[in-house]
Amino acid sequence: MPLLFSYGTLQQKEVQIANFGRELAGSKDVLQCYVVGEITITDERVLRESGKSIHPILRFTGSRQDEIEGTVFEVTDAELAQADDYEVVDYVRIAAKLKSGKETWIYAAAEKA
């Protein structure tokens, strides 16, 4: 099953239930070489589900000293597709390796974000 690292709204129980129909079980982990910025969300569905207009967004730095704490979840392929649908165009899903050595998917800033 794929792994998905969340540092933002996908950690919220209400967002998980709205998108996956269940609360996800996860474990804490760390992503290196990124910092967290912010973007303003205007998508009505995402605003309704997250309850927030400002969302965090990962920006690549390349420096292993930059670390983001979050939660890594085991999801199905179908749930990964649902997460893709939830994330707005400012995000892109890419593969990454966590500090623990786990290979995971992350949502980071798209080039234009």
Which domain CATH number covers 103?
3.10.490.10
Q: Domain of residue 25: give its range.
A: 3-109
Question: What's the CA dihedral at 94, 99, 100, 106 to 10 degrees?
Answer: -20
pLDDT for 108 = 95
Q: Report how far residue 18's alpha carbon sits from residue 75's, in angstroms, rounded to the nearest whole number.
A: 15
User: Which positions ≥6 away from 48 have C-beta within 8 Å?
Assistant: none
pLDDT for 111 = 73
How many domains are contained in the chain? 1
Whether the predicted model's global pTM rises above the 0.85 cut: yes
Q: Look-up: residue for tokens 């760390």? A: 30
pLDDT by residue (tens digit) across 12-61? Answer: 999 999 999 999 999 999 999 999 999 898 989 898 989 889 999 999 99
Q: Report how far residue 46's alpha carbon sits from residue 15's, in angstroms, rounded to the nearest whole number.
A: 9
pLDDT by residue (tens digit) across 47-98? Answer: 898 988 999 999 999 999 999 999 999 999 999 999 999 998 889 999 999 9
